[in-house]
Structure 1
């Protein structure tokens, strides 16, 4: 699970459609470093799903650039604002691979993570560019995941 990297500031004159707001240079650089470190640690999703927002698709593309055997990227409306966890779970089950990645927005990513690990209502701060890895040991279902690790671009700078 990935929250998009830091984007340009909201500015209705420059970006009248918020879906078209791109990553900032700082956000891009921080996430590239994080993606490279994740790749070295064998984090290699077989497919990546992303929100249609430009900042999410750009984050997904940065991840793909650092992964050996680059996976395909699919755009899913379920990862957009107000995302639908049931649709994401169904999509994930349909993939039949061992690693998938979702790239989305707040507060969706925090809420989805909390529900997946059975901690609905928990206060999880999903910083921009942060990545959480969960594992499903039996079925892919709400409350059935275990949080394996959670990293931010700040933590991975060292």
Structure 2
């Protein structure tokens, strides 16, 4: 199984958005974030031409990022997976992943530091974050066994600027 972990694109500034009185979960992407994500998707398609399953955190910025991915890949509406919201349970995420075909390419769109910690948990067996995903960055993990704690390997990690250069 190949697992793409993607951090959401650039969203409205947290402190400025707080003044709207809306919950942080409703914080949307900026136009700059949308534009850069579209460019990053063009580069991503060069190194990952197909995605079989696309899921995102239910927070708006992740949902909007996943919608851009769906458009770029010609996929149906992405699944909103509450497990990908900040503070999600890694065992539950692994169990959800295990329900997919071993040959599938699953893409998860979420948040920091959760995604970096999930990468650490899936690869090194520790929930510590030893990498940092910039907004719109992508990490590809390969799991030859069931995706569980310490069973995956990092294939590559691309920053948004690198993805845009590939596009």
RMSD: 1.6
Task: Give the structure 2 partner of residue 52 of structure 1.
Answer: 58
Task: Give the structure 2 partner of residue 78 of structure 1.
Answer: 83
Q: Which is richer in helix? A: 2
The answer as to whether partners of 1:45 and 1:71 remain within 8 angstroms in 2 is no
2:7 to 3, 14, 30: 3
Task: Give the structure 2 partner of residue 125 of structure 1.
Answer: 132
Q: TM-score of the superposition, structure 1-length normalised? A: 0.91
Deviation string, structure 1 residues 97-119 (Cα, Å, up to 9, x no partner): 51101111111001000111116
Task: State the secondary structure of the residue aligned to 1:117.
Answer: helix
Runs of 4+ displaced beyond 6 Å: none
Task: Give the structure 2 partner of residue 154 of structure 1.
Answer: 161
Are residue 136 (structure 1) and residue 143 (structure 2) matched?
A: yes
Query: When the two structures are aligned, how many residues end up with a matched partner?
Result: 157
Q: TM-score of the superposition, structure 2-length normalised? A: 0.87
Task: State the secondary structure of the residue aligned to 1:138.
Answer: coil
Alignment of 1:27-106 (within 5 A): 27-68=33-74, 70-96=75-101, 98-106=104-112
2:28 to 22, 29, 40: 22
Gapped regions of structure 2 (runs ≥ 5): none
Deviation string, structure 1 residues 65-101 (Cα, Å, up to 9, x no partner): 1114x15511111100111111111111112251101
The answer as to whether partners of 2:41 and 2:69 remain within 8 angstroms in 1 is yes
The answer as to whether partners of 1:51 and 1:76 remain within 8 angstroms in 2 is yes
